[in-house]
Amino acid sequence: MSNQPDRIIIFDTTLRDGEQSPGATLNADEKLTIARALSRLGVDVIEAGFPYSSVGDFEAVKSIAETVGTADGPTICALARATENDIKAAGEAIAPAIKGRIHTFIATSDIHLQYKLRKTREQVLETIPKMIGYATTFTEDVEFSAEDATRSDREFLYQVVESAIAAGAKTINLPDTVGYTTPEEFGSLIRGLKANVPNIEEAVISVHGHNDLGLAVANFLSAVQNGARQLECTINGIGERAGNAALEELVMALHVRRQFYNPFFGREPESEAPLTNINTKEIYKTSRLVSNLTGMIIQPNKAVVGGNAFAHESGIHQDGVLKNKQTYEIMDAESIGWTSNQIVLGKHSGRNAFGSRLRDLGYELSETELNKAFVRFKDLADKKKVVTDWDLEAIVNDETQQAPTIFGLELVQVSCGDNARPTATVTIRTPNGDELTDAAIGTGPVDAVYMAINRVVKVPNELIEYSVKSVTEGIDAIGEVTIRLRHEGNVYSGHAANTDIIVASAQAYINALNRLSAALQEGNKLNPQTATVAQ
C-alpha cells in the first residue's frame, strides 16, 4: 500500500526552527499572528513549537492548536525529542487541534551518538519503536526524524527508518542538520531508502535542511525529483546559523518550473495544476510580517521577496521589460502579492475605509486593535499627503504586534546640532506604574536616547545591530528601525516605525528591552538540538 501524495506537502517550521535564529524570539501573540498568516498562505503543516522547552512555548502551541487548528485549517505539529516527557508535552499541547501531529526525533550519525547522546546504535534502535509507539497514544499522525541523517551510516539509517515506520510513523524526515550535503547526495540518499527499506511506501518521505553551504533549496529540489513529498521550510529561510530552505523559493521554483517537475509526479508536462496548496499571492505579505516580527531584515537581493527581486537597473533590461516583462522576469511581482497598484488613503479617509483596506490586505484585527491602529493612521495622515498600503502595514505591525509591555516610552526629546552636544531626555513608565525621567549625553541623538533609557531601565545589554530603512519614498516617509541586543549570549530584537526616526529608535530599543526582560522573568528555554537528554 502506498501513502504517497500526488503533490508537495509544505511543512512550515518558521515558528520552531525559524525562531531559533539569534534574536528572533517571538511572544505568544506574535506566534499566533504568524500562524494565522501561514494558514492564509495555505501551508499544510505548521510546526508551532517545542512544547517541553518552556511553559511559554507550551501555551503558544496550545493556543495555535485551538485557534488555527480548525477542520479546514492546517495540521498543527509539535516537536519532541524521543523521550516520554517531551512527547507527553507535545501531545497535550496539540490536543485542541482537529488535525494534530507529533514530530519526534533522535540523532543517528555516529558523531552525534558518540558526543551528544552517548548512546550506541543498538540503544537508538531500541528507543525508536518505544517512543513512536508512545506518541501514537496521543495522535495517529506521527513524524519521525533521523537527526543528522545526511552524515549517518546508510545501512544503519535504513534500519532506523524501517523500524520507525513499523512502529507507526506516517512521515519519515531526513534532516540535513548541518547543511552538509549536496543535491546529488541528497537524491542518492532518497533513492537508497526507496531501494532498501521494504516498508518505505507506507510513509511520506520528508526533507529538512540548512543553508550552511547555500545549497538548501537546490538540495530540496533534488529530493523532490527522487521521491520526497514533504518539504520542511521557513519563511524568508530564517533558522539556525545560515538558516533553512526558504519556503518562498521552493514554492515559486515548483510554480515557475511546473513543466519540468510535473513528470516526477506522473503528470503531463503541460499540466497547469499546482504542485503545492500555497496561495502565492500571500507570499510577500507573509514574508514582510515575519521579517517585522522577528527583526530579521530581508537582504535586498534575496530571491523572490527581496527589495531588488523585480528591480532593473540596466538600460537594456529596462527596455526589454517595458516591451515584454518576460524578457527579463520569469514571474510577475503580482504573483507573490507584491503590487504597485495600491489604494491610497488620506486624512479624509474614514474608519470604515481604513478597516476595509486592512481586511483586503489580510489583517484580522480586534475592535481594540483596529481603534489603536486607526488613531495611528489619522496621526500619520496629518503628516503625510498620502498613505499607501506599505504605510498601513507598518502601522498595523508596529501598533498591534508589540513586545510584552514591561517598560513604556512616555516621552523622548533630543537636542543636537553641528556645534552642540547631543542630549536626550526620556520618560519611562516602569512595571509598577511609576514614571521616571532622566537625561544623558551621547555621541549622537540616538546614542543619547539609548544612554538615557539605560539610566532608567538598568537592564544590562550590548547593542549589536542598529538599522533603519524607509517604508516608502519621499522625505515624509515612515522610517522602520530594527535593533538587536545581546545579553549573556542570547540575542533579542526590537522593531518600531514612525515618521520621526528618533521616536522609532527609542521605541525599538524599549521593545527589545521588554523582550529581554520578559525572557529573564520566564527563564531560558531549551533548544531541541543542543539540550541534553537525561540518561
Binding-site annotation, residues for Mn(2+): 17, 208, 210, 244
The answer to whether 530 and 496 have CB atoms below 8 angstroms apart is no
Nearest to 466 by CA among 424, 433, 490, 494: 494
The answer to whether 48 and 59 have CB atoms below 8 angstroms apart is no
Q: Rounded to 5, what percent of the chain is helix, strand, coil?
A: 45, 20, 35
Set of cell numbers at residue 376: 495611528
Q: Are strands 479-487 and 490-498 parallel, antiparallel or unpaired?
A: antiparallel
**Residues facing residue 446 across a β-bridge:** none
Nearest to 24 by CA among 236, 296, 219: 296
- SS3 state at 137: coil
How far apart, in whole angstroms, are the C-alpha atoms of residue 298 and residue 287?
Answer: 9
Nearest to 281 by CA among 387, 361, 395, 355: 361
How far apart, in whole angstroms, are the C-alpha atoms of residue 497 and residue 395?
Answer: 7
Dihedral-angle region of residue 239 (phi above 0 means left; psi in -120 to 50 means alpha; beta otherwise): left
Annotated binding site: 17, 208, 210, 244
DSSP 161-222: HHHHHHHT-SEEEEEETTS---HHHHHHHHHHHHHH-TTGGGSEEEEEEB-TTS-HHHHHHH
The answer to whether 169 and 103 have CB atoms below 8 angstroms apart is no
How many residues would you count in the chain? 535
Vertex 222: Cα angle to 221 and 227 (nearest 5): 95
How far apart, in whole angstroms, are the C-alpha atoms of residue 247 and residue 276?
Answer: 11
> End-to-end distance of the chain based on CA atoms, in angstroms?
38
The answer to whether 202 and 1 have CB atoms below 8 angstroms apart is yes
- SS3 state at 383: helix
Count CB atoms within 10 A of the CB of residue 188.
Answer: 15
Count CB atoms within 10 A of the CB of residue 469.
Answer: 14
Q: Which residues of 159-183 are buried (b: 16+ CB within 10 A; e: fewer)?
A: bbbbbbbebbbbbbbbbbbbbbbeb
Residue the block writes with cell 511559554: 56
**Helix ranges, 206-312 (H):** 216-225, 247-256, 258-261, 283-294
